[in-house]
Amino acid sequence: MSGPSIDPKRTLELVEVAPALKATGALKAGTRRYSLASVMEVEMRMNGLRWTALLITLWLPATLASAQWDASTDEGAYTGATTAPAPPPAPPDQMISDPAYPVAQETGKTKAWQPVGFTWSLNIGVPIVLDVPRDVVRPGADIFFFGAADFGFFVIGGDFGLQWNPIDLNNLTGFSGRRPLSRIYLSVPEVRFQVPDLKVALPYISFAFDISFWNFAETGISCGYWYCSQVSVYRFTPGFHGKAGVALEIKNSGVHIDLGFKYSFTAKGNFFAQSGWWLEPYVGVLVRRRD
């Protein structure tokens, strides 16, 4: 930065004034010995003081502002715009509750345990008894109803049914005619596992314990208060069965065509001389409600 400048006009005035002062004797003897250079040096110092004062005047406010900024930006201080304080809550009689929005459901995942529904079916099957003479024990008919609580992949319920198998006595020596081997049964509990997420098909397997009552041409006399009558005698046997099938839905209606096989076992119980097995294909209507 260059030093203070010398005003030529001011210097000329000093040169012109000096002879006048000497002529009038206004200048003292000590003062006369100052040369023109000394007067110019004093003027330069005066100008330097003026510039210094101007610079101090400009520098001091900037220094104070910078110090205040540094103090406000210490560690942990927030220099951004401040937010206005939250308004006080409205009185209870003026409060407006937020609208209830439906909870977004997670898509793409299906839980094994879903809200309970109801499933029922009505079926007719053809029981074919195994390990017996086919010309004596003929294929028969089985009508059963199934009802259960439906939890999605897991179903629990029971069966109730009536079963008949014709026995052809004409093929036995010393016997003639044909009589039915009948059975009344209750299957509880029946546990079913299924795959409910397919578009059309509903495959499943199930297992159940059977409480069966059998009759074959056995009758008894039952008497009431006024009269007696002949009744069929049914005898108990325990057993179990398993099913495997698929239900085909009709146009997203919840109504299915039910196709499957049932494999059943019966112990001797109070009726048979030995345990037995039979296989039963069946068809029916299955209705599944998930509302």
> Which H or E run contains 126?
none
Q: Which residues of 102-126 are buried (b: 16+ CB within 10 A; e: fewer)?
A: eeeeeeeeeeeeeeebebebebebe
Query: φ, ψ for residue 63 (rounded to 5)?
Result: -65, -40
- DSSP run (H or E) holding 267: none
pLDDT value at position 90? Answer: 60
259: exposed, middle or buried (C-beta count within 10 Å: 0-12, 13-18, 19+)?
Answer: middle
CATH numbers and ranges of domains, the chain: 8-69 (no CATH), 113-289 (2.40.160.20)
Instruction: Give yes or no for a contact between 145 and 185, defined as CB atoms under 8 angstroms apart.
Output: no
pLDDT at 18: 52
Q: Judge whether 39 and 6 are in contact, CB under 8 Å.
A: no
Evaluated on CA atoms 42, 46, 51, 57, the torsion sign reads positive
Which burial class, exposed, middle or buried, applies to 197 when counting CB atoms under 10 A from its CB (0-12, 13-18, 19+)?
Answer: exposed
Predicted pLDDT of residue 8: 53
Rounded to an integer, what distance in angstroms lies between the CA atom of residue 276 and that of residue 265? 6
Q: Which residues of the chain have pLDDT under 50?
A: 1-3, 21, 24, 26-34
Which pLDDT belongs to residue 32? 46
- CA–CA distance, 165 with 129 (Å, rounded to integer): 9
Half-sphere exposure of 85 (CA within 13 A, CB side): 3
pLDDT for the residue 28: 47
